[in-house]
Structure 1
């Protein structure tokens, strides 16, 4: 296994792949309707506080799992190939949920009056799919690629959530649903590739 802290010769290619994978899994545009439902009865200051809390918490969780996830693999004697297969299956389940229901239903989505930690930061932003994506990215592409991809996606997500009202008015509920379904297909394709790569390493 390559040193996850090293910068590979395919740095920019890995960065693009990791960033796109994380972006489509988090799907910040797709959660716009859910986010609007959570904040619609809040004052402007409370909305800003919830958004900031959600972004900071999600970023912290993703960084923690990206780094600590490799240690967990070692502790339990799990190979990267096996984890890629398991992660691919999990991502595929997430894709099916997004494709059929438009959101990740497991973990709850009703949190009126609560902070941005649950369910916005987890499981909507730093959910199981995103955690799987950053762990695999850290293992295959290294710390630099993973860290930058997290910062890029979290930064884009912050901008989207900050201007969520304007974006929702432009896209509308139907537009948001269409984008979510398109992202779901991309997630499914990434998931299948994870499984194929993992199986190839295990049996070939």
Structure 2
């Protein structure tokens, strides 16, 4: 095992910026209101597993089903786009139809695509080209600890900010999430058209 602190720190910072779990607090609070409860441990474990598995089999899996990383990113950007519209306009796209489905908010859309989404998954593939897998795994673990803490503290953060604070944050981060979705979409489109026929 070849652990490199500099690689771990760099990979951790890249994933932290892409995942942006702190910036997702308004979304998390909103989803907790809709579903009544978010299973922090379940969401964290599932997101961590998705990121780790994708590190090793992501490229091969996408190639196997004939999907490029760019196409995968574009598909995920649509999900983020609609989440952002919910936050900005106060409309609802994601409706839970039964009690069992409500429990899955920890999986969708928190674990995927909010945390283990197109941005973080494509970043994982990019990091693998530069850093060793062991260091990336440690970076994933570090980010999952941060994610767990934020999910656990979301209720306290909501009480601290109050209704008006949450409403303002929700609109602001909705616009930011929308911008991220557009960026992922445009980058994916650009990469597709740069691929030789």
In structure 2, do the counterparts of structure 1 residues 52 and 164 end up closer, same or farther at CA, with 3 Å as the change threshold?
same
Whether the 8 Å CA contact 1:91–1:129 is kept in 2: the answer is yes
Aligned-pair CA distance for 1:65: 4.6
In structure 2, do the counterparts of structure 1 residues 82 and 32 end up closer, same or farther at CA, with 3 Å as the change threshold?
closer
Give the equivalent residue in structure 2 for 1:174: 164
Aligned-pair CA distance for 1:121: 2.0
* 1:32 partnered with 2:20: no
**Cα deviation digits, residues 39-90 of structure 1 (max 9, x gap):** 5xxxxxxx9xx43334333433443355443332111222223333333344
Give the equivalent residue in structure 2 for 1:136: 122
Structure-to-structure mapping, 1:61-140, within 5 angstroms: 61-65=50-54, 67-101=56-90, 105-106=93-94, 108=96, 111=99, 118-130=103-115, 131-140=117-126
Runs of 4+ in 1 over 6 A off after TM superposition: 9-14
What secondary structure, in the 3-state scheme, does the structure 1 residue paired with 2:59 have?
helix
Calculate the aligned-residue CA RMSD, in Å.
3.8
Aligned-pair CA distance for 1:167: 1.9
Which whole-Å CA distance do the structure 1 matches of 2:15 and 2:91 have between them? 23
* Count of aligned pairs: 184
**Cα deviation digits, residues 122-171 of structure 1 (max 9, x gap):** 11421334332332112223256864554344322322333344322211
**TM (normalized to structure 2)?**
0.67
**TM (normalized to structure 1)?**
0.66
Unaligned ranges ≥5, structure 2: none
What secondary structure, in the 3-state scheme, does the structure 1 residue paired with 2:67 have?
coil
